[in-house]
Amino acid sequence: MAVLEIVTVGDPVLRERARELSADELRSDEVQRLIDDMIETKRAAHGAGIAANQVGRALRVAVVEVEPGNPRYPYKPIVPLTVIVNPEIEPVDDELFAVNEGCLSVPDLRGDVDRHVNVRVRYLDRDGEPHEEVRRGLTAGTFQHEVDHLDGALFLDRVRDPSTFSTWEQFDRHRRAEFEQRARALVERVGS
Ligand code: ZN
């Protein structure tokens, strides 16, 4: 396994729609190694997720995982390692929540993005097995963020109020307390 370079905003690969993987491609050593490397890269960077575009490959595969004690997102519920291949996502209802997001490909910037609170996700795991799950709250937001990457979108595109942009240091100073309170109340109410 290897820690890969994470590309940053401005690299055209982040604006590509990643293409679906065939069953044969998914089984290949090359793609299985890519998945292992994405997991290691995500863990090394303490991200909540990573999409293949972010390591320079426009393929529809992403990894979501929030480990206990994640220093970037201490308020996010724990999410076991989930590899999603060819994912499709749809809202379950109309409820939205303003999530303050960051991204490994957008260094030192955060902003408020409206995300669906309840989404249905269909995907293949790394063994090609199909899954269908409902994800809720901040976890639903993380899945939407990763599927956005696969569609060539960044959280920057979805920030409605540019005055919510902040560095991570300024977020800690001025926004974290209020956001964490709202986020924890959401997680308590809807789960993950
Ligand atoms: Zn991201």
Domains recognised in the chain with CATH numbers = 12-190 (3.90.45.10)
CA distances 57 to 17, 38, 66, 173, 178, Å, are: 10, 11, 22, 36, 37
Catalytic residue among 146, 169, 180, 188: 146
pTM: 0.97
Span from the CA of 8 to the centroid of ligand 1 (angstroms) = 10
Residues 43, 75, 112, 16: what is their CA dihedral angle, to the nearest 10 degrees?
20
State the average pLDDT for the chain. Answer: 97
What is the DSSP-derived secondary structure letter of residue 173?
I
Q: pLDDT (tens digit, 9 = 90+) per residue, 151-182? A: 999 999 999 999 999 999 999 999 999 999 99
For 192, counting Cβ atoms within 10 Å of its Cβ (0-12 exposed, 13-18 middle, 19+ buried), the class is middle
Tens of pLDDT along 30-78?
999 999 999 999 999 999 999 999 999 999 999 999 999 888 888 889 9
CA of 9 to the centre of ligand 1 (A): 10
For the cut 90, the answer to whether the pLDDT of residue 96 exceeds it is yes
Q: Is 146 a catalytic residue?
A: yes
Centre of ligand 1 from the C-alpha of residue 94, in Å: 23
CB 75 within 8 A of CB 86: no
CA 157 – ligand 1 centroid, Å:
12
Which are the contacts of 135, defined by CB distance < 8 A and separation ≥ 6?
118, 119, 121, 143, 192
Interval between CA 84 and ligand 1 midpoint (Å) = 15
- Per-residue model confidence (pLDDT) at position 1: 84
